[in-house]
Structure 1
């Protein structure tokens, strides 16, 4: 069997050349990193869970008219996605104060914000993904005003969908980040949600107890990360309702 061509390897995923032009195979690793990869570990089963959860979220977004790069899940660790030109920005939507925003502004973690706040970070691991302003984005040509307007609109639609979905299973969507890609059709482009949406890229808190069900479990040594992700998958119906946290989850198709 011919060896697949690797296009890119990041902290949590590997991208391979897809079977058809304009497609990519996205492979989810078990690696967990925090603090710009200063802290790292391998969490058995994490990649399987993130693959299935990202499929669930991307499929749901598609049903409400939010365009994404997702095509189909191939197996337990891989999914087929559209090849896009990634805009070098992370779009962050914050509903409650947490993480770096709480530290920067001296806010209490969990404090409600007056409205969802959108922030931008430059995608550059070597620089630690620094926070940037709209002025930086336009001056350095990372995106146009129209691009940014479209990206914010996409991010807020994702926020509406994800907030409602999570609230329905007893989870607060504290914040999340997405990446956006350009999909070209000749000279025409459209912007779509790319990369992944998973507990790796969201802050998720239990509504009743405040228990963290996201990567902060790993960042802050609060327990077993696979257990937390398994609980999110169980509540959403991605795992059977009677499932208990397990290292190697059995996922339903």
Structure 2
């Protein structure tokens, strides 16, 4: 890995120059962070789980015609992705009230929303990734109105897919965030789902017990994060059902 050119390092992943033009290698770290990295820990095996779970979700989206940057998994911690121009926005879809929405509007956590709500947050850790309106996005040139329409359509299609997949294994998709990138093919541009989809970027609650199976386990000190992520992987068939977390998850190839 030292011989590869590092392109970018974030809180949970590292991007390296890919083996072919227009590609990157995305490496999943074991780091867990919350509150803009004010809380930090290293969770053994977390990167392995998120790599496989993100592969599972991205492959599923590609299969139903939702474009993503994902090409293939390379090994337990790395995947090959297309290089895209990331739009500096986090796109959040909410199905139930939780987190900052509950605080802003005084809604009890778990309240079902009248319909899925799409929100945009400006990606800037120094500012705490503030909530922004479409008017801000267009005025500052982060995206065009057509981009926004396409992003909302993509996000709702992702929501339909994830909600169905999770419901089938007894998990409620409370909310999630995605990043969207511009993929250039000559002079032609299309928008694709980028970054990752994993329990790091979703709120997942067990339908029967309400148990948290996402990063809130780490944020709120609710238990063992790797156990929670392993449970999601087991239910989705990424981990064998008879395996319990032992620090180094054994995954199905």
TM-score w.r.t. the length of structure 1 is 0.99
Q: How does 1:130-145 map to 2 (within 5 A)?
A: 130-145=130-145
What RMSD in Å do the two structures reach over aligned CA positions?
0.9
Q: How does 1:117-136 map to 2 (within 5 A)?
A: 117-136=117-136
Q: How does 1:175-214 map to 2 (within 5 A)?
A: 175-214=175-214
> Contact 1:230 / 1:246 at 8 angstroms: preserved in 2?
no
Is 1:47 paired with 2:23? Answer: no
1:167-200: per-residue Cα shift (whole Å, max 9, x none)?
0000000000000000111211000000000000
Mapped partners of 1:185, 1:161: distance in 2: 26
Greater shift in the superposed pair: 1-10 or 210-219: 1-10
What is the CA distance between 1:243 and its match in structure 2?
Answer: 1.6
SS of the counterpart of 2:251? coil
SS of the counterpart of 2:72? strand
1:125-166: per-residue Cα shift (whole Å, max 9, x none)?
111111000010000000000000000100000000000000
Mapped partners of 1:135, 1:247: distance in 2: 46
In structure 1, the partner of 2:173 is: 173
SS of the counterpart of 1:20? coil
SS of the counterpart of 2:19? coil
> Contact 1:91 / 1:179 at 8 angstroms: preserved in 2?
yes
1:66-91: per-residue Cα shift (whole Å, max 9, x none)?
00000000000000000000000000
TM-score w.r.t. the length of structure 2 is 0.99
What is the CA distance between 1:210 and its match in structure 2?
Answer: 0.2
What is the CA distance between 1:2 and its match in structure 2?
Answer: 7.2
In structure 2, the partner of 1:223 is: 223
Q: How does 1:24-35 map to 2 (within 5 A)?
A: 24-35=24-35
Is 1:12 paired with 2:30? Answer: no
In structure 2, the partner of 1:107 is: 107
What is the CA distance between 1:246 and its match in structure 2?
Answer: 2.6
> Contact 1:122 / 1:129 at 8 angstroms: preserved in 2?
yes
Give unpaired runs (5+ residues) of structure 1. none
Mapped partners of 1:36, 1:51: distance in 2: 22
In structure 2, the partner of 1:241 is: 241
In structure 1, the partner of 2:87 is: 87
In structure 1, the partner of 2:163 is: 163
